[in-house]
A = this chain, B = another copy of it.
């Protein structure tokens, strides 16, 4: 299938047929390193799959950007992933899933899923008292996307969103278990405790890395929903249904997992190696603005 780079606005498919085979890789992208928590779950749940990951480390964070900008950036990344002949795409970024998925899924002819819908679905299923909290970036909370998806499943559920803009910088600074993170978490989460939610969605891919801090504050009665886990599960179901699951075991030496970033390969590798089971041999820098 021909694919034109530098297409100015929309991704234009040249054909309606899907020209991919089951051993093609899965494309996964995020604004930076957070999406690696989704990669980790995909590696665990469908270990035969090859992965092409792109982290937009030059333009991170997305959480404070507008819908227009996040959609433009996401389109560029989807164009890049298509050049790598991926068979499916996972938007492993809550902000981009919230802001860009609905537009982009109309424009391409391979499966694409985000992290928001799987997380919303499970939260709507597990809540007992009908009060769900969502913690995420400013952009994700402002988009109301979790509320919208949950209400599509159950109109009677109350969804309370709370933006936690300092969580990402604290995680990236490595303060995963630290009194400062405890204090900030306590401030952000108190109102959700007061409202008596019984389910809390970790609506940013960085947040599973401070899951124990969040869990300690929320207490045992609150179920924490990790969209990274639910997304990998949904991806497995989707690939199975479409008969696209890779049945052949691929060795690690054969470019099974490839990582691309828009900047700072060394820093990315260090972070990735701290959270992934498999060492990353190298991350390649590409100029994403060219796509």
Contacts and interface: CB of A to CB of B under 8 A. Distances in A.
Question: How many copies are assembled?
Answer: 2
Contacts of A59: 58-59
Interface string A65-100: 110110000000000000000000000000000000
Interface of A: 57-60, 64-66, 68-69, 165-166, 169-170, 172-173, 179-180, 183-184, 262-264, 267, 289
Contact of A65 (B173, B263, B289): B263
A174 to B, nearest CB: 10
Contacts of A166: 169-170, 173
A262 B72 CA distance: 13
Given A58-B65, A59-B59, A169-B169, 13 more contacts: A58-B69, A60-B64, A65-B263, A66-B263, A68-B263, A69-B263, A165-B169, A165-B172, A165-B173, A166-B169, A166-B170, A166-B173, A179-B183
A170 B165 CA distance: 9
A162 B78 CA distance: 38
Given A180-B183, A183-B180, A66 B264 contact: yes
Nearest to A62: B58
A22 to B, nearest CB: 36
A68 B172 CA distance: 22
Contacts of A180: 180, 183-184
A58 to B, nearest CB: 5
Nearest to A179: B183
Contacts of A57: 64-65
A230 B283 CA distance: 40
A140 B64 CA distance: 23
A264 B57 CA distance: 20
A180 B178 CA distance: 12
A262 B65 CA distance: 9
Contact of A64 (B68, B184, B264): B264
A121 B289 CA distance: 37
A81 to B, nearest CB: 19
A170 B180 CA distance: 12
A166 B175 CA distance: 11
A188 to B, nearest CB: 11
A68 B57 CA distance: 13
10 contacts: A57-B65, A58-B59, A58-B69, A59-B59, A60-B64, A64-B267, A69-B263, A166-B169, A166-B173, A180-B180
A217 to B, nearest CB: 15
Of listed A68, A169, A183, residue having the most chain B CB within 10 A: A169
> 5 smallest A-B Cβ distances: which pairs?
A169-B169, A69-B263, A58-B69, A66-B263, A65-B263
